Amino acid sequence: MWGRAAWRRCPRGLRRSREALLTLLALLALAGLGSVLRERRGARAAEPGPLRTPRLGRRDPVLPRPPVPGDALGARGEAVQLQLQDEELRLQEESVQLHQINIYLSDRISLHRRLPERWNPLCKEKKYDYDNLPTTSVVIAFYNEAWSTLLRTVYSVLETSPDILLEEVILVDDYSDREHLKERLADELSGLPKVRLIRANKREGLVRARLLGASAAKGEVLTFLDCHCECHEGWLEPLLQRIHEEESAVVCPVIDVIDWNTFEYLGNSGEPQIGGFDWRLVFTWHMVPERERMRMQSPIDVIRSPTMAGGLFAVSKKYFEYLGSYDAGMEVWGGENLEFSFRIWQCGGTLETHPCSHVGHVFPKQAPYSRNKALANSVRAAEVWMDEYKELYYHRNPHARLEPFGDVTERKQLRAKLQCKDFRWFLENVYPELHVPEDRPGFFGMLQNKGLKDYCFDYNPPSENQIVGHQVLLYLCHGMGQNQFFEYTSQKEIRYNTHQPEACITVEAGTDTLVMHLCQETAPENQKFILQEDGLLFHAQSNKCIQAERKAFSSDSFVPLLRDCTDSEHQKWFFKEHM
Ligand code: LR7
Ligand code: MN
């Protein structure tokens, strides 16, 4: 196989084979570069396979979009709220219960609806090299998906994808047990052009289900989608154009939100967000950093992203195989997105979001099926790709260390074979915005009180989007890391760095409580605490110590508060890694 460098240096056509390279060298010797390039195009046109299919006037979508009356429910992606009573209301609630999506409403919205324009107006001006773009197989794995969200995904692909570019749509049924997904689905799909249905004969999980689809795919590019998506006009061309330019680019569309309850298509034409992660290995969204904005030549240039959400992306089939496709040891859901992201970057590819490609995704109210395999999947990713940095993950999830994760020998061999870079390189070059904790021995973990023996610092923000602004409390120590994990840094901060963005314990002037605020580049005085040898946590700015106290008017809640320093055991604290 080709080395990493080969992917970066060779122009696309040359990767096809060594033979092609030799031919090119010979031709170079004979003629000037211009004629070589003409020659190459000619040679390409004569190649067997999909590239040779005549591609004239087939830029229209595979299926025309049937007219939908403007007053039909949600016909333009606007929010819908049905006024229901009694039995109907009960049915709606039942559908939410079952799918965690308002399927009662979805069933009443056209499968062919149009979407509001949510792309940058500049995208409309973009011209594509249709005759030379690679073809794609769209692969959609599904497990127990509702009828209307699944079918809307399929129609939306067929009604927005140029015929010339879409090889096929491969649906992979991951051993669903719902009646509507059996013969009825097969019948419905058999009436649609270019659509194939593959069935797993046991529950494979999304990784192996996608791999089943990928191995059957005939297109040059694999485009993965979740089974509850709607494609925005012009979504496909930018992905394929980019891979045509650079075969080692893995390209994601911008993911617009479809509301699980109203089916409103949200999203905006402004700057998309990029993917990151926190040290629990939870995927996070971020603003585009300034350094990346500097690199981009225009607002509709691709945006490099450290990680991807996981469900929606396009990749050259050959490059996907070269990279080792997916880790087939991953079950059900979770972890594969970060694993693949690390692998792409560390092994010489790039991961990008194209601002002109928009696809909507229904984010369910909550997970509709058990995701308890996610932990083992994340551990596999950490074990193979993160080197010594995996310890930072384990510190914040002590139970992950105990999770059986199977055998990763082959994945490590793959990493060696492809001569992939290490995780430090990834952090320094691809994701320099991520703060790397110091985790000095004895200065991270639970922050436990000596007087109130079983009580630890505990911070439980109401949601992942509202990390800062809330008070730090004390709860029974649980030893599970997460919301009881704190790190005492050499800058004397007490950092809550399981999440992104990172928060630091702060004393607001004139108050005696501890509140979380964003950490700063250099720690300000109100975020500095001196952890003394004797266990006192001294806040120099206010000249006070942190004391564990019963909360006013409460018999069994406790809080850390600032008090005059004494030698009470309730003012002594220590870090502990495990229970
Ligand atoms: O056992 C399973 N078998 C399957 O075939 C479990 C799931 N699936 C299918 C499922 O029907 C769906 O089509 O796999 C697809 C993804 O499952 P979802 O929709 O339940 O996942 P999600 O949207 O909640 O989660 C995101 O993270 C996952 C991590 O494993 C996957 O990478 C999902 O594809 C991914 N979704 C997206 O990236 C869409 C945007 C979400 C965000 C942020
Ligand atoms: Mn999904």
Contact 207, 327 (CB under 8 A): yes
Which has more pLDDT, 46 or 228?
228
CA distance 452 to 437: 28
What are the structure tokens assigned to 413, written together?
Answer: 């061999």
Q: Ligand 1 pocket: which of 99, 101, 143, 185 to mutate (most atoms <8 Å of CB)?
A: 143
Distance 315 CA to ligand 2 centre (A): 19
- 465 pLDDT band, cuts 50/70/90, is confident
pLDDT in tens, 266-318: 988 899 999 999 999 999 999 999 999 999 999 999 999 999 999 999 999 99
Average pLDDT over residues 317-330: 98
CA distances from 109 to 82, 114, 282, 307, 360 (A): 11, 11, 33, 33, 15
* Percentage of the chain modeled with pLDDT above 70: 90
pTM, full prediction = 0.90
More confident residue, 170 or 17: 170
Q: For residues 27 and 45, give the distance between their C-alpha atoms in angstroms, rounded to a whole number.
A: 17
Q: How far is the CA of 414 from the centre of ligand 2 (A)?
A: 29
Burial environment of residue 70 by CB neighbours within 10 A (0 to 12, 13 to 18, 19 or more): exposed
Q: What is the pLDDT of residue 58?
A: 83
ipTM of this complex = 0.99
Least confident of 36-45, 134-143, 189-198, 224-233: 36-45
CA-closest residue to ligand 1 atom 9: 142
377 lines ligand 1 (CB under 6 A): no
pLDDT, tens digit, for every residue of 472-508? 999 999 999 999 999 999 999 999 988 888 999 999 9
pLDDT of residue 183: 98
Q: So what's the pLDDT on residue 341?
A: 99
Q: Phi/psi of residue 558, each to 5°?
A: -125, 150
Residue in this structure with the two tokens 């509140």, named with its chain if needed: 515
Unique residue bearing structure tokens 């193979």: 384
310 in ligand 1 pocket by Cβ < 6 Å? yes
- Which atom of ligand 1 sits closest to the CA of residue 226? 13
Strand partners, 544: 539
Mean pLDDT, rounded, for 437-458: 97
Cβ of residue 322 lying under 6 Å from some atom of ligand 1: no
Closest protein CA for atom 16 of ligand 1: 226
Nearby residues for ligand 2 (ion, Cβ within 5 Å): 226
Is any atom of ligand 1 closer than 6 Å to the C-beta of 143? yes
Cβ–ligand 1 contact at 207 (below 6 Å) = no
Residue nearest ligand 1's atom 15 by CA? 226
Measured N-to-C along each axis, helices 374-385 and 409-417 cross at an angle, to the nearest 10 degrees, of 40
**Confidence (pLDDT) at 21:** 41
Residue 27 confidence (pLDDT) above 80: no
* pLDDT tens track for 167-200: 999 999 999 999 999 999 999 999 999 999 999 9
DSSP letter for 34, please: H
Taking the CA of residue 227 as reference, the ligand 1 atom at the shortest distance is 13
Of 12-26, 56-70, 175-189, which one has max mean pLDDT? 175-189
Whether residue 171 has its Cβ less than 6 Å from ligand 1: no
Chain-centre distance for alpha carbon 310 = 4
pLDDT digits (tens, 9 = 90+) for 525-544: 999 999 999 999 999 999 99
Which residue segments constitute the domains of the chain, with CATH numbers given? 4-47 (no CATH), 90-109+127-366+375-430 (3.90.550.10), 444-576 (2.80.10.50)
Q: Distance from the CA of 333 to the center of ligand 1, in angstroms?
A: 7
Instruction: For ligand 1, say whether the CB of 313 is within 6 Å of any of its atoms.
Output: no
pLDDT value, residue 18: 40
Q: How far is Cα 502 from Cα 42, in angstroms, rounded to an integer?
A: 55
Average pLDDT of the chain is: 91
Q: How far apart are CA 171 and CA 55, in angstroms?
A: 25
* Ligand 1 atom closest to 283 (CA): 43
Q: Among 150, 178, 226, 363, say which to mutate for ligand 1: greatest number of ligand atoms within 8 Å of CB.
A: 226
* Residue 510 pLDDT exceeds 60: yes
Separation of CA 306 and ligand 1 centre (Å) = 19
pLDDT of residue 500: 86
In this structure, are residues 549 and 570 in contact, taking their beta carbons and an 8 Å threshold? yes
Question: Is pLDDT at 241 greater than 70 in this prediction?
Answer: yes
* Residue 430 · residue 345 · CB < 8 Å: yes
CB of residue 274 inside a 6 A radius of ligand 1? no
Ligand 1, residue 332: give the atom nearest the CA: 1
Q: How far is the CA of 167 from the centre of ligand 1 (A)?
A: 23
Q: Where are the alpha helices (DSSP H) in 420-525?
A: 423-425
What burial class does residue 170 get, using C-beta atoms within 10 Å of its C-beta: 0-12 exposed, 13-18 middle, 19+ buried?
buried
Residue 12 dihedral angles phi and psi, to the nearest 5°: -50, -50
Task: Give the tens place of pLDDT for each residue, 90-103.
Answer: 999 999 999 999 99
- Which residues on neighbouring strands pair with residue 495, listed in sequence order? 487, 504
The CA 260 to ligand 1 mean position distance, Å, reads 15
Compute the chain's Rg from CA coordinates. Answer: 27
Residues in Cβ contact with 568 at an 8 Å cutoff, skipping those fewer than 6 apart:
451, 547
Query: Is the CB of 361 inside a 6 Å radius of any atom of ligand 1?
Result: yes
Residue 365 predicted with pLDDT over 80: yes
CA separation for the pair 546, 530 (Å, rounded): 10
pLDDT at 57: 60
Check whether the bond before 116 is cis (ω within 30° of 0): no
Q: Which ligand is nearest to the CA of 371?
A: 1
